[in-house]
Amino acid sequence: MAGRVFGYARVSTREQNLNRQIDALNAFGVDRIFADRASGRDFDRPAWRELLSAIEGGDVLVVKSIDRLGRSYEEVIDMWRTITKERRVAAVVLDMPLLDTRQETQGITGTLIADIVLELLSYVAHVERENIRQRQAEGIAAAHRRGVRFGRPRKERPGAYGEIVNLYGAGQLSRKEAACLLDVSVSTFDRWRKEDLLAGLTER
């Protein structure tokens, strides 16, 4: 008996539309479609788990594009090998004809070609991530040189801060009471006190 043909579609959010992927899978002629509305961060997705429990050796798995399987090429490659080599399931990526393990060209199997392509994609993705990190680091360094401060703006000390700190230092106010009078959190009051102590502005 010929193997079954399963399609898999995924979008990251409920607002995104699956129709384009489903139309492409139906045009290919799949027998059944599994669809997730979930992040591609990992493979812990309901429809994907159901698909894995359904496919058997000799079946075919079809996706419209490789990123529908997941965001991490390393994890995608591991899953691809699990499906094609351990489970003996053929895999087809519609947007990338080289990723079709059913094919054989001049004695070279589609599985071998797909492995080479996936390794190349993984390398390209790794290089791009490193380039992004480098650009981010360079951008942050340039911003620091221009005096740009990151994070939330620091809360300014109220005019009554000095007097309230003196009352706190004299034991007439607790930390919580001092913070309440300054209309800040206790952690902010503690941070201000620590900054003052480091700067030598107040006594312990």
The predicted model gives 191-200 an average pLDDT of: 82
The predicted model gives 82-98 an average pLDDT of: 90
Sign of CA dihedral 195, 199, 200, 201: negative
The predicted model gives 20-29 an average pLDDT of: 96
Token pair for 187:
């952690």
Give the pLDDT of residue 53: 95
Question: Crossing angle of helices 186-199/175-182, nearest 10°?
Answer: 100
One-letter amino acid identity for 63?
V
Give the pLDDT of residue 78: 87
Give the pLDDT of residue 128: 67
Residue 202 has pLDDT above 60, yes or no: no
Q: Give CA–CA dist 38/43, Å, rounded.
A: 9
CATH number among 1.10.3210.10, 3.40.190.10, 3.40.50.1390, 1.10.10.10, domain 5-126: 3.40.50.1390
One-letter amino acid identity for 8?
Y
Assess whether 12 carries a catalytic annotation: yes
Token pair for 183:
């209309």
- State the pTM of this model: 0.60
Q: Which of residues 26 and 137 earns the better pLDDT score?
A: 26
Which segment, 39-48, 130-139, 161-170, is predicted with the most confidence on average?
A: 39-48
Residue 156 has pLDDT above 60, yes or no: yes
**Nearest Cα to 25, choosing from 89, 94, 101, 114?**
94
- Cβ atoms of 55 and 83 closer than 8 Å: yes
**Which of 65-84 are b and which e, b meaning 16 or more Cβ less than 10 Å from the residue's Cβ?**
ebebbbebbeebbebbeebb
Give the pLDDT of residue 32: 97
For 118-166, give the DSSP string.
HHHHHHHHHHHHHHHHHHHHHHHHHHHHTT---SSPPPPPPTTHHHHHH
